[in-house]
Amino acid sequence: MRQLLKASISFGLIGCLILSPIEFVPVTNLIIQAKSASTTGTAERVTTEYTKVYASRSKKAKVILPLTFGTTVYQNATSGSWTKITYKGRTGWVPSDTLMPSLISTEYLVNRTTDLYATWSTKGKRVTTVRSWSRVVKTGEYGKWSRVRVGGKTGWLPSSYLRAPYSNNRITRTVYGSHTYGVDTQAEYDAVYKRVKAEFDAKYDSAEFGFSEYIFRVLDGERGNRDSSDPEYRTPNNGGLLMAEMALEPYFDGSMSMKTYEKMYRTDNFLRYIHSKYKSTGVEGDKKLKSAYDVLFRGKSDCDSKEQVKSLVYDLAGIDNVVVGDGVTHAILLFKVDEGWMGTNYKAFTKSDVNQLNSTNVYLSYTQKGTRMSY
């Protein structure tokens, strides 16, 4: 089992480095300047440096109070290069270029162990250390840095160290337990489910996804010619037989019953049909890719997102499943049939294998909030 997972993740290091982190696009519009004489609002802002709050729009005006770096204030109005703000019940004016937008608090995963700094620089004072795969709340960003809150402490870390969470509380209505297929919103979930369900109802039971002629011939006892020196070896007919023999190995070696094998064969053929109809392009370096919606509607894919499409197809076919990975380089789907939990090698996991998976994988349950595999 350990070899299986190691091999799977190692494959990801070669074939799925498209998940390697890249830096977020820096925020470019941080200076708040209004063309009109005055605008009103109550937007939340964060100070980008030490600044003073003045009684009027002039640095010669009376200083009401100082504000330290990273202070959250509320914008009331703007005029020229000045912004009127309120902080703890006190109102005054500050230069607009000392403020940046404050983000709606969003939870993220930190994909590596890093220090949290008091400013957006590694030269800043270290606030605390954040361990890999800790959950943090992002409250602001500036350039290539993000302001986050974790364990009651607030500080800055590089935005490239953040990864979007794998589930979202905004998704309140699902069909198969808490499987969300990695999507971010209820609308995305509904669109993904509707599209694949319609295809499944119309096509899944059709003959095109059943056993091929070559599968039937091999089951009837026919075998391909393995002598590479024989001219027949390279004929399409012989190639079809040899491929059918390879495909039937899980049945021949006793890993699967014919009932299980036939279901998996049909389901995987249907999955290939889905990917051929809704074509997607593998995108290198886009760490935001993680959902079936990315594949089916945005036309972009990587390991995570393709396994989420597979998860939905398996759900529709009545095959319990879960996505496993290290959260950075690769993801694989595990499924449960009559013989037990299996992976890409179609060997049933032992109880110790399942226990190890439950205890060591980073996002074993990211589509099944809190659920663990049971032996």
Report d(CA 113, CA 123) in Å as an integer.
17
Answer whether residue 57 is part of any domain. yes
pLDDT tens-digit profile of 90-128?
A: 999 999 888 876 655 567 888 789 999 998 889 989 999
Report d(CA 19, CA 362) in Å as an integer.
15
Q: Tell which of 61, 84, 101 closes a domain.
A: 101
pLDDT tens-digit profile of 327-375?
A: 666 788 999 999 999 998 889 999 999 888 887 776 665 555 556 788 7
Instruction: Please state which of the ranges 70-79, 97-106, 195-204, 283-292 shows the lowest mean pLDDT.
Output: 97-106
Confidence of residue 38 (pLDDT cuts 50, 70, 90): very low
CATH number at residue 38: 2.30.30.40
Answer whether residue 266 is part of any domain. yes
Number of compact structural domains in the chain: 2
Q: What is the pTM of this model?
A: 0.59
Same domain membership, residue 190 and residue 73: no
Q: Say whether pLDDT at 302 is over 50.
A: yes
Q: What are phi and psi of 276, to 5 degrees?
A: -75, -30
Question: Closest Cα to residue 30, out of 157, 142, 120?
Answer: 142
Same domain membership, residue 336 and residue 202: yes
β-pair type (300-301, 281-282):
parallel
Report d(CA 78, CA 99) in Å as an integer.
12
Answer whether residue 177 is part of any domain. no
Tokens of 360: 């060591």
